[in-house]
Amino acid sequence: MKVVLIDLNWKHLLPLTFSKSVSELLVGIDTIGEKWTRQFGQEPLMLTAKYLQEGYNWSDKEELTLINASVIPTDSLAEAIEQLKNNQFLTYRGKFVAGKIVEIDSEKRSKDLEMGNSLSLLWAGSEEIFYNDECLIIEKPSDIFTYNDAIMRQDFDGITKGFRTTEFPRDVLPKGGDIFIEDGANLNHCVLNASTGPIYIGKDAEVMEGSLIRGPFSLGANSTLKMGAKIYGATSIGKHCKVGGEVNNCIVSDFSNKGHDGFLGNSVIGSWCNIGADTNTSNLKNNYGEVSVWSYPEEKIVKKGMQFHGLVMGDHTKAGINTMFNTGTTLGMCCNIFDSGFPPKFLPSFSWGSAQKGFEDFKMEKAIEAATAMMERRKKSWTKRDEKIFEFVNKHDAKFRKP
């Protein structure tokens, strides 16, 4: 059985999926793709929008098992998928979960995904099987922090397989039993309170002095919690990140920094982002009302029935010191925001400027220069593929930028 994760919902998860597949989204302790790899013991193939596809392994295989990349795996779901026969497909409350087919026209499907064409379930099989157990599907950016608590608990049990860290340095104050610290992690004079949820510290990560952590919480490999950080669950920090200040129910993706004081709540931060010192987000309206949020599929700001919603920040976006973000703000990919005042609740990709002085197009050469500099600091190289992605995203969001 060769597993293929297909990005059916990628446009609903923008701006987070402009430069990565849905399966590369961090939720819980690791990415969706890593969860499926752990579940089936094999690294899945990925089928995404055509402009992204060349970055992922692909080969024509027979008897492919297609899985909606937005679906979070469980043992029960994996068993149901393994039992599928050719031309059968699995649905949950009318939504495609998985299907087993003999072959797929990957070129056509990749083009369809890029264009946003509706994909009929008929190409995934002729016999529908209903899945009736609980199934979590990440359908919009806010689902990532909404479901993060439940997913992190599930991940913790799966990754640690019952093992727990029982011996701690004398200057670490642990509470609760669900704590796991990988080899090479360095913890100094900090508090780990796992009575509210599990705590997972990745390989070679560092927790600096004075950090206060309440689970559920995960810190990715080679990441750092800065001195005096105050972390509330359910919060996930990816690999090679630096995070400080006050953070509550957030996801910070790989290679991003929020290294200073300031509040970040109920938010999802993409990769290669930087949040300046004393930057704050609002995650609750003053009147405790329903939050309105930008929807890429609907191309407007809509109400989502949520009371708590902070910031959604696309990859390669930066915010300068003392920036303030309204409740339910969405920033596209590769934005650069600075100065005081509240920027609009939606900024399209490649926006540059401030609430005080207004916004203009972030010139491509300047955007590439900034991205290249940040990547080089992490010993990563800018590629032609990165440039093609920037060009696609710039063109995609151009219609939302004011002339």
- 3-state class of 190 per DSSP? coil
Residues 192, 175 contacting (CB under 8 angstroms)? yes
pLDDT at site 124: 66
Instruction: State both tokens at 232.
Output: 């509330």
Q: Is the pLDDT of residue 56 over 80?
A: no
**261: confidence class by pLDDT, cuts 50, 70, 90:** very high
CA angle 238, 13, 331 (to 5 degrees): 75
**60: confidence class by pLDDT, cuts 50, 70, 90:** low
**305: confidence class by pLDDT, cuts 50, 70, 90:** confident
Report the chain's mean pLDDT, rounded to a whole number. Answer: 93
Query: Which residue has tokens 């290249």?
Result: 372
pLDDT at site 86: 87
pLDDT at site 300: 95
**Number of Cβ atoms within 10 Å of the Cβ of 32:** 26
Residues 346, 330 contacting (CB under 8 angstroms)? yes
Nearest Cα residue to 65 out of 112, 6, 20: 6
**120: confidence class by pLDDT, cuts 50, 70, 90:** low
Whole-angstrom distance, CA of residue 337 vs CA of residue 362: 10
Most trustworthy range by pLDDT among 157-166, 221-230, 376-385: 221-230
pLDDT at site 117: 67
- 3-state class of 85 per DSSP? coil
For 302, half-sphere exposure in the C-beta direction (CA atoms, 13 angstrom radius) is 9
Instruction: State both tokens at 79.
Output: 């068993």
pLDDT at site 119: 63
- 3-state class of 264 per DSSP? strand
Residue-wise pLDDT tens digits, 11-23: 999 999 999 999 9
Whole-angstrom distance, CA of residue 364 vs CA of residue 198: 43
Whole-angstrom distance, CA of residue 101 vs CA of residue 103: 6
Assigned architecture for domain 2-139: Alpha-Beta Complex (3.90)
Assigned architecture for domain 143-400: 3 Solenoid (2.160)
Q: Which 8-state DSSP code applies to residue 323?
A: -
Residue-wise pLDDT tens digits, 173-202: 999 999 999 999 999 999 999 999 999 999
pLDDT at site 116: 75
Residue-wise pLDDT tens digits, 204-251: 999 999 999 999 999 999 999 999 999 998 999 999 999 999 999 999
Q: Is the pLDDT of residue 122 over 60?
A: no
Whole-angstrom distance, CA of residue 83 vs CA of residue 98: 11
Contacts of residue 284, defined as CB under 8 A and 6 or more positions apart, other chains included, come to 265, 307, 308, 327
- Classify the phi-psi angles of 123: left when phi > 0, otherwise alpha if psi is within -120 to 50, otherwise beta: alpha
Residues 280, 325 contacting (CB under 8 angstroms)? yes
pLDDT at site 107: 79
pLDDT at site 121: 58
34-50: average pLDDT? 93
Write the DSSP string, 234-247.
SEEE-TT-EE-SEE
Residues of the chain with CATH 3.90.550: 2-139
- Phi (first) and psi of residue 399, to 5 degrees: -70, -20
Q: Is the pLDDT of residue 79 over 90?
A: yes
pLDDT at site 91: 93
**97: confidence class by pLDDT, cuts 50, 70, 90:** very high
Query: Above pLDDT 70, what percent of the chain?
Result: 96
Residue-wise pLDDT tens digits, 345-379: 999 999 999 998 999 999 999 999 999 999 999 99
pLDDT at site 123: 62
Residues 278, 293 contacting (CB under 8 angstroms)? no
pLDDT at site 235: 98
pLDDT at site 78: 96
Residue-wise pLDDT tens digits, 265-303: 999 999 999 999 999 999 999 999 999 999 999 999 999
pLDDT at site 402: 77
Which segments of 102-234 are extended strands (E)? Answer: 127-130, 173-175, 179-181, 186-187, 191-193, 199-201, 206-207, 212-214, 217-219, 224-225, 230-232
Residues of the chain with CATH 2.160.10.10: 143-400
